[in-house]
Amino acid sequence: MKDSPTGRVLFLWCLLRLPLVLVLAFLFREDVVRFLEDFTGSLGAFVHPVIFFVCTVLERLCLAAVVIMAFGLLAWGAGRIPRPGLRYAVTTLVGFGLLVLLWRTFMYPSSVKNIDRVVLTTTSLYVTAGIFALNVVPSTWLERLFRKPGSVTPVRALLFVLVGIEALLFRPVLLWFSERVNDSRPRLAQLSRRVGNWLPYVVFVPLMAMVEARRGPLITWFGSPLANDPAVTKFAEGNFNQIALDHKNRRLIATGHGQRRVSSYDLDKLHKKPIRSNKKTGGSQALAFSPLHEEVFVHGADKPHHMTVMDSSTLEVKRHALVPVSPGDPWIVWNPHDDTVVIASEADLPTKKDTAIVDRASGRIRHVLDIDPGNVLLHPELPLLYMSHFRRTPKLMILDLELAKVIHEVPAPDRLTRMAFHDGFLYIGAPLDAEVRKYHGQTLELVDRIPTEFGVRTVAIDHERKLLFAGSLVTNMLDMIDLTNGTSIRRFYLGPWLRTILPDSKNGVAYVSSYTGLYRVEYL
């Protein structure tokens, strides 16, 4: 069929418009992020699924491979049926059955009480099945439609107006393109038809499976063969963030986005039911622990905008203090040099009241600062607080807690987050560069780069043995590195989204929190 100038213009418009939208989104990404923050109140609803997708990408690829084999077999078998109508009926019915099996196994929530999630999952099942059915319509039917007199103008109108329709009806659009270029570019037309015939089976459905799959079934089916190291023990399930070691009472204190209350685990009986706080914490990200006063501090617990102080032995609430900071996940540090508590919000919605320095005993706010760090780390000997910035303006800072003033700051690469300090140097994971960066503790001058796992996000140090631990967000590996020469000694597979690492040098074990639970790693 000879293509007209109008057809060529439409071809170029359909071919270039989605890339154009992506380019514009990239160029105006800050405005897009700001709009999403204003519209939703927080980027957590977008960021968390993306991060979890990245840290389970290997398991998702395994799932995609299984789906490709199943639907590839369906495509091969159905292709042997000569009658188009019967072939289409068999493809859609068997395909729907496979989708139901796939969704029931990997997508539906573990509890039917989660009604919203059940409704969303069911909707995604039927939407996926509908798109699949529309994209496996026999080619002869579509070609007959495109060649039918009077059909060219309506089809062109739909393709021109419905921007993005090519992402849903990709096979009909590819076949339409092949019809338009069949005379002038027969090889391109043939390639378009072949690609369109296989896309529903080996790209669309596997991609939907990768995006929709929940963590539980993914880990059970595809992560378990990797997690067979006898040195690694998972002793708690759930979404955990920050943890602290109470050496005196041999307890591990934990909190996290998925925890309604702060928990305390017996280090000698980790599988024993933990002590729970008598008040809900609302999924608090961070906690601070004062071994001197045997107190635990959290922010935004059962009372919003309040610092809550708990007894570390019983986790019973002792008192509250009003400490309003910008909305967002807060980091909390107890400063023993002047007995203060620092609460630093990541400030999803900045209010210029992002960081507060609070008197521990009275709860009185001493200073309020317009600083929204991505992570904080207290100097082990001086009243100095290191601050890294994960988003907005990437930089490293040193905050003098007595002066309540930034005394030094330097530009830093994007996405630097968790920090550790050892022997006068600051160590920070650089996830995109697969390295841990070593900075001078006073000048913040870059001293060395230590290669490690791609996606390294969290770091910690065994000071006695000079061992650096680096946890990857992408590979789910815990890398143990000799600080004397920068070489990896051993790697442990744990699980998705590693967050906090706490080495117990005396016993040669490390405790690690993650999105899926708590781990104990014997590294000696």
In this predicted model, what pLDDT tens digit does every residue of 149-201 receive, in sequence order?
Answer: 544 555 555 555 565 566 677 777 777 667 666 666 777 777 777 777 788 88
Determine which helix (DSSP H) or strand (DSSP E) holds 462, and give its type and residue range. Answer: strand 456-462
Q: Please state, as a whole number, how many other Cβ atoms lie within 10 Å of the Cβ of residue 472.
A: 25
3-state SS class at 455? coil
Q: Are strands 446-451 and 425-430 parallel, antiparallel or unpaired?
A: unpaired
pLDDT value of residue 241: 93
pLDDT in tens, 236-255: 998 899 999 999 999 999 99
E strand spans, 247-329: 251-254, 263-266, 275-276, 288-290, 295-299, 306-311, 317-322
Q: State how far the Cα of 283 lies from the Cα of 42, in Å rounded to an integer.
A: 15
The DSSP output letter for 269 is: B
Angle between helices 84-106 and 205-212 (to 10 degrees): 10
Q: State how far the Cα of 483 lies from the Cα of 461, in Å rounded to an integer.
A: 9
pLDDT value of residue 329: 84
The two three-digit tokens of residue 344, written as one number: 């630093």
The two three-digit tokens of residue 306, written as one number: 């309040």
State the amino acid at position 452 in one-letter form: T
pLDDT value of residue 328: 81
State the amino acid at position 49 in one-letter form: P
pLDDT value of residue 208: 87
3-state SS class at 301? coil
CB 409 within 8 A of CB 419: no
Query: Any bridge partners for residue 356, and if so which?
Result: 343, 368
3-state helix, strand, coil in the chain (%, to 5): 35, 30, 35
pLDDT value of residue 258: 85
Q: State how far the Cα of 78 lies from the Cα of 90, in Å rounded to an integer.
A: 7
pLDDT value of residue 1: 46
Task: Name the stretches of the chain with pLDDT < 70.
Answer: 1-15, 29-30, 33-34, 36-48, 109-114, 143-167, 176-177, 179-184, 215-217, 219-220, 223-226, 301-303, 391-392
Query: Any bridge partners for residue 233, and if so which?
Result: 520
3-state SS class at 445? coil
What is the CA 132 to chain-centroid distance, rounded? 28
Q: State how far the Cα of 390 lies from the Cα of 396, in Å rounded to an integer.
A: 10
Q: Please state, as a whole number, how many other Cβ atoms lie within 10 Å of the Cβ of residue 264.
A: 21
Torsion of CA 432, 428, 360, 259, to 10 degrees: 40
Phi-psi region of 87 (alpha: psi -120 to 50; beta: other; left: phi over 0): alpha
3-state SS class at 473? coil
